A and B are shown apart, each in its own frame.
Chain A
């Protein structure tokens, strides 16, 4: 985990959007590290900036960007210094790929899924069409899609199969890092478990790293080596999964864990009172203070990130 070779390092990454109501501070000074063959999950409520963080890493930005700064090291290379063309040619899909949210519903309906999976290998990998198709079929085998499905269209496939196709598309260029944005949220329980199994085996066999973005904490534990909790555009806690799931540190993480209904333990879930703050005018000081049962005087100041036995938490309680 912490000892493994570093793959990705994000330093004070900011991504703000301009809207008619004001500037949305979606990603607000994020620091994050990821090792090779490591999976980190980013959990948080909707609107906390998880997806924006993924987009910031892959530089898939909308037009209304107000501020996009920070450093993103992939190995030793700061990819933020690359031009758009260099980034497109050498980084996106070649070294970092993504399974976007609801990817299974975004497949092109008039292309055969085999051709669609092969496309990144042709455009980014420079393979010929035939080589790319062979590669696509290899990917299909790996993600558990029958080979003859390559000549089918997306509408002929079930949801689980389409999601597998979307994952195959992200893996065909053998990237080092795959960003998975809610990969199983619209799927049935058994299909979800099958896809999680598949993602796990791929991680063990190929040594890829994952950034898994989800609001489903139970499912996230299927893949997590480390957990990062996001709240209102900031990361409030990062730590290894084992200790996080046993005893989360930040009051928000604890509340979040208590809101998870558990099947095997008889513990009635509780909900978090209140709503997350607006990202247009986020409160000064700790952003969770308003909903926090343990707030005290100091919470009016912005808490620093405090190291706590190899874990990091952004809360004055640990100062």
Chain B
């Protein structure tokens, strides 16, 4: 990297309190200058390069705040989540939680840290062990984290199931995952994520495997849990239409970088980056008019993260490319309005 982008402006205090029902005050998680590069080895020996899955990402997450990370597959959003959960060690950068850099923690410290993090996986069926009953699935994190009293465990399991609206609880405790519908499985996954009383919930495409009519139900459930427990939620998705209703700030990722970030309503009204515009153009609303026109979407596919294009990573697909600039120099963040940053030379 020849040019380092300017650091992000890390203001989490909302300028217009009407837009922020939960006025973010204190960051619960702070990500600074995060790089996650995976080594590529030739013949398992020579270093052949790096997969730059996450390349220089910084943001703060306030207590009780819901943010969304939007991007296509292969843009590094899952790697970012796995790093935040402490499953992947970053190459460079810091993740601060309760004044500790979790990248430097050992096994015991990490275990303690993970008990503050809930993880809702994309595919509920794949995420639940098929040979354990719902009770055992929910008991596991309690046992690992030293809740030795049987009665206490049972009480917390029941409470967690009630919270995800699986009533009557008795009907579900002895069931195995295959006996549940997709929506119910995802509820068990959410109950498991919530059982240790986390501060942050990471939801990686929590509804993409579910039926359209169940999706909203699960998203509303997550929203309700966020409000009652003052949870910070990181919602990772490629679906812009749900983001609007279930998060407060949006980060748009492309090829390992955040290319635009703003508050939700701001982004919906004034999306600026050509890639964000393409995402909006490509996301349909149910409207018969769609069938009569072709959509104006950029051709091609996201670049390889082994050798990302120089300059702006979107320039090979961009219709507004500025010759001699976009393919040479990486765009810094330009501030369009408070809390709305765009990495695009069009706004220099």
List the interface of chain A (C-beta within 8 A of B).
39, 45-46, 158-160, 188-194, 196-197, 200-201, 215-225, 240-242, 244-246, 255-257, 259-266, 268-272, 275
A262 with B211: CB separation less than 8 A: no
A193 and B216: CB pair below 8 A?
no
Pick from B73, B182, B212, B283: contact of A263, CB below 8 A.
B283
Contact B291 A188 (CB under 8 A): no
A263, B280: Cβ atoms under 8 Å? yes
Minimal Cβ-Cβ distance residue in A for B279 = A189
> Known: A261-B245, A263-B241. Contact between A241 and B279, CB under 8 A?
no
Number of interface residues of B (CB under 8 A): 39
Chain B residues with CB under 8 Å of A272's CB are: 213
Which B residues have a C-beta under 8 Å from some C-beta of A?
Answer: 72-73, 181-182, 211-217, 220, 238-242, 244-245, 268, 278-288, 290-291, 294-295, 297-299, 301
**18 sample A-B contacts, Cβ–Cβ < 8 Å, listed by A number:** A160-B301, A191-B301, A193-B281, A193-B282, A196-B295, A197-B294, A215-B212, A218-B241, A241-B288, A241-B291, A245-B286, A261-B215, A261-B239, A262-B241, A262-B286, A268-B245, A270-B216, A271-B217
Nearest first, the 5 A-B pairs at minimum CB distance are A193-B282, A271-B217, A188-B72, A241-B288, A242-B288
Which B residue sits closest to A46, measured CB to CB? Answer: B211
Which of B217, B240, B290, B299 contacts A189, CB < 8 Å? Answer: B240
Query: Given A191-B301, A271-B217, A259–B212 Cβ distance below 8 Å?
Result: yes
B291 adjacent to A219 (CB under 8 Å): no
Q: Which of B214, B238, B268, B291 has the most CB of A within 10 A?
A: B291
A189 touching B239, Cβ below 8 Å: yes
In the complex the two chains form, is B238's CB within 8 Å of A269's CB? no
Q: CA of A257 to CA of B298 in the docked complex: distance in angstroms?
A: 29
**Given known contacts A158-B301, A194-B297, is B287 in contact with A271 (CB within 8 Å)?**
no
Distance (Å) between the CB of A159 and the closest chain B CB? Answer: 8
Instruction: Tell me the total A-B contact number using a CB cutoff of 8 A.
Output: 122
CA distance A232 to B283 in the complex (A): 29
Residues of the B chain whose Cβ atoms lie less than 8 Å from the Cβ of A245 = 286-288
Which of B240, B242, B283 neighbours the largest number of chain A CB atoms within 10 Å of its CB? B283
Which single member of A201, A225, A263 contacts B291 (CB below 8 Å)? A225
Report A-chain residues with C-beta under 8 Å of the C-beta of B291: 39, 200, 221-225, 241
Bound complex: CA A216 to CA B283 (Å)? 12
A197-B295 contact in complex given A46-B211, A189-B72, C-beta closer than 8 Å: yes
Contact A263 B268 (CB under 8 A): yes
* Nearest CB in chain B: distance from A112 CB, A: 21
Q: Which of A196, A225, A255 has the most chain B CB within a 10 Å cutoff? A: A196
List chain A residues, Cβ under 8 A from B279: 189-190
Partner of A197, one of B245, B278, B280, B297: B297
Q: Decide if A224 touches B297 in the complex (CB within 8 Å).
A: no
Q: How far is the CB of B317 from chain A (nearest CB, A)?
A: 9
Q: A160-B301, A189-B72, A193-B282 are known contacts. Are A271 and B288 too (CB-CB below 8 A)?
A: no
Q: Which residues of B have CB within 8 Å of A255? A: 213
Once bound together, how far apart are the Cα atoms of A245 and B286, in whole Å?
6
A196 to B296, alpha carbons, bound, how many Å? 11
Asked if residues A190 and B288 are in contact (CB atoms below 8 Å), the reply is: no
Contacts of A223 in B (CB 8 A): 291
Bound CA span A265–B284, Å = 11
Residues of chain B with a CB closer than 8 A to A201's CB: 294
Please pick, from B214, B238, B239, B285, the residue contacting A264 in the complex, using a CB distance under 8 A. B285
Q: A158-B301, A271-B216 are in contact. Are A189 and B282 (CB under 8 A)?
A: yes
Determine the chain A residues whose CB is within 8 A of the CB of B72 once the complex forms. Answer: 188-191
Is there an interface contact between A221 and B284, defined as CB atoms closer than 8 Å? yes
Chain A, Cβ-Cβ closest to B212? A215
